[in-house]
A and B are shown apart, each in its own frame.
Chain A
Amino acid sequence: MYVAVKGGEAAIANAHRLLADRRRGDRSLPSITIEQVVEQLGLAVDRVMAEASLYDRALAALAVRQARGDMIEAIFILRAYRTTLPRFGYSEPVDTARMKVERRVSATYKDLPGGQLLGPTFDYTHRLLDPSLIGEDAVDEPALKEPGEHVMRVSDILDGEGLIEGDGQMPEGHVMGDLTREPMEFPMARDLRLQALARGDEGFLLALAYSTQRGYGRTHPFVGEVRIGEVEVELELPELGFAVSLGTVRVTECQMVNQFKGSAKQPPQFTRGYGLVFGQSERKAMSMSLVDRSLRTDEFDEDIVAPAQDQEFVISHADNVQATGFVEHLKLPHYVDFQAELDLVRRMRREYEPAQPGGKNVMKEAAE
């Protein structure tokens, strides 16, 4: 005899309690503060801000802590908060030429105005575990150049000679789209594609970018420049008739310089892929710029032969909040549909078995 099990609500409440317990961990240890996450896990905070499309360190740090360090979960929490915020207006495009750079490297020139500025990079660290970090972490004060220096962009150097395409003007009369406010439609213009890539999953874009390097849609890339620093965000107020500064955000920009032979209509010049992300993430900005370039097949009459060139494929699958939701939804109950499949397979087996020598019924009757 059988009595159905109930109690979904209690089960959920208990699961939440246990989750909170596991998040807190050993109570004899102090709990981490949001300030500590902001200060000491800054790159995790940056990634969450970038892929959640919300620039707020404290909220991103809260999300990281709440998600127990699960990045996609933290991104998801921050996105869900972002979507409830009122939209006051659209800022002016940030001017990265006026960035207060902390890091700036170019692979295309040995030296250039403003110089190569390494900044806070892992690049030349030896990846040896550092036991001194196990305890208190006494660190020397950094040697810093005067902050606030504006340095010339490599793209402007090449542009001076007319050797590189311009800053990617959209066609006349094009109204800048907003990926978070309009339904997606393909083919998608570059403004919307860049928005999608900027909030796209770092791992997914990294893999796609890598695939172009290995020959799946090769673009012959050179890092014109990677720069990291603070840029000013300005909003034009119709009442005032000019833009006012809202503050600064830290961003990473990558200008990828790519080969292009030119055409009958255009002299030979380099093309570009562009990457811009909140916070410090060269991996993401570089991947984004590679994928941006590889998606520009229409503009350069390139055949789509590789996944990284296929915008519907790339854009539809770049969002990790969507992807994780749909992959993980498979653990929700599907027993109604499974029952329908079971029924069909059993029926087909019944039709199949009698034709086989020694066939027997696979389905036992319920033990009543």
Chain B
Amino acid sequence: MNDLANYNFAYLDEQTKRMIRRAILKAIAIPGYQVPFASREMPMPYGWGTGGVQVTASILGPSDVLKVIDQGADDTTNAVSIRAFFQKVANVAVTTRTADATIIQTRHRIPEEKLGEGQTLVYQVPIPEPLRFLEPRETETRKMHALEEYGLMHVKLYEDIARNGHIATTYAYPVKVEGRYVMDPSPTPKFDNPKMHMSEALQLFGAGREKRIYAVPPYTEVVSLDFEDHPFEVQKFDRPCALCGAENVYLDEVVLDDKGGRMFVCSDTDHCEDRRAHGHAGAMLAPAAKESQEAAE
């Protein structure tokens, strides 16, 4: 019992995988629609990526190369933990390099590097229902999706504008998929929304606790909801990454001291490292790091 080798390849039993695989195929066939599935208890807590883990476990094969990120970083503790889980139960090859991965499981970010045809992005989703906070009842939201009745969502976004002068939704920003279903892109910052549109990669979304799987196939229209007089726009950072000098990427704010000192660095750690390896340097890259890079080149 304490020997994980006794578990099936990729942990899940075959019957569970079949059930999830059927759900994935239906999800692909109905882009943006949330397919109910009989989510299993996983050996990590609900809310910590059990949906993503079940999706990954069901699609993963021995020749895959897996990358796991949380907040864009490969070395955040939960990403480390999920990666270690798949190494243990599937003996799968892992990588931190976006370009080398065939499956990328993510929480809260889409990699900066453009994803390609052979890749599948698996999102961990806490609340799959974009209408949940407008109407908590599943019985009601299901009807709204069935009737394509999304007026409430527009009203909510418009109320934001009236009150704040801005649409106050900064992450989990709702999108419409292929002109039909309004979908929650998971709590990625809206900065990442445009990357979903006509992506070359397959995007799968797993919500374990809420027992839903949904998908965006490659080359599919994903449009962030907006208004003619308030078009959708993403965050803009007024400075480049302090370590690699990258612009037009999503940055994390790092507090340096108790005197208000802070710096902004790439949230996508692989992207940042890759740029530094190619000689890009930001204003605050440690001199030692700069030197060793120069020596390596």
Q: Which residues of A contact B (CB under 8 A)?
A: 1-4, 6-9, 11-12, 59, 76, 79-84, 86-87, 180-187, 312, 316, 321-322, 324-329, 332-337, 339-344, 347-348, 351, 364, 366-368
Contacts and interface: CB of A to CB of B under 8 A. Distances in A.
B90 interface: no
B190 A333 contact: no
A366 B71 CA distance: 22
Interface centre among B171, B190, B284 (most CB of A within 10 A): B171
Interface residues of B, number: 77
Contact of B260 (A2, A325, A329, A367): A367
A329 B126 contact: yes
Pairs A-B, 3 closest by C-beta atoms: A325-B46, A329-B47, A183-B36
A341 B169 CA distance: 8
Given A183-B38, A333-B70, A348-B166, 11 more contacts: A2-B256, A59-B1, A83-B40, A186-B138, A312-B137, A325-B47, A329-B47, A335-B252, A337-B171, A337-B187, A340-B171
Contacts of B264: 366
A367 B259 contact: yes
Nearest to B283: A368
B48 A339 contact: no
Interface centre among B46, B257, B263 (most CB of A within 10 A): B46
B5 to A, nearest CB: 13
Interface of B: 1, 7-8, 11, 13, 15, 36-43, 45-48, 50, 70-72, 75-81, 84, 107-109, 126, 137-139, 164-166, 168, 170-172, 187-191, 209, 211, 235, 242-243, 250-254, 256-257, 259-265, 267, 269, 283-289
Nearest to B37: A183
24 contacts: A1-B285, A2-B242, A6-B75, A7-B75, A8-B80, A9-B84, A12-B77, A79-B41, A80-B42, A82-B41, A83-B41, A183-B38, A321-B41, A324-B46, A325-B209, A332-B70, A336-B267, A337-B171, A340-B189, A340-B190, A340-B235, A344-B168, A366-B256, A367-B259
Given A3-B289, A337-B187, A367 B211 contact: no
Contact of A339 (B1, B38, B252, B269): B252
Contacts of B289: 3
Interface centre among A181, A184, A335, A339 (most CB of B within 10 A): A339
A20 to B, nearest CB: 13
B252 A336 contact: yes
B256 A80 contact: no
Contacts of B75: 6-9
A32 to B, nearest CB: 18
Contacts of A312: 137-139
Contacts of B189: 336-337, 339-340
A180 B138 CA distance: 19
A81 B257 CA distance: 45
A11 B243 contact: no
B45 A328 contact: yes
B190 A326 contact: no
Contacts of B137: 186, 312
A290 B7 CA distance: 40
A339 B80 CA distance: 22
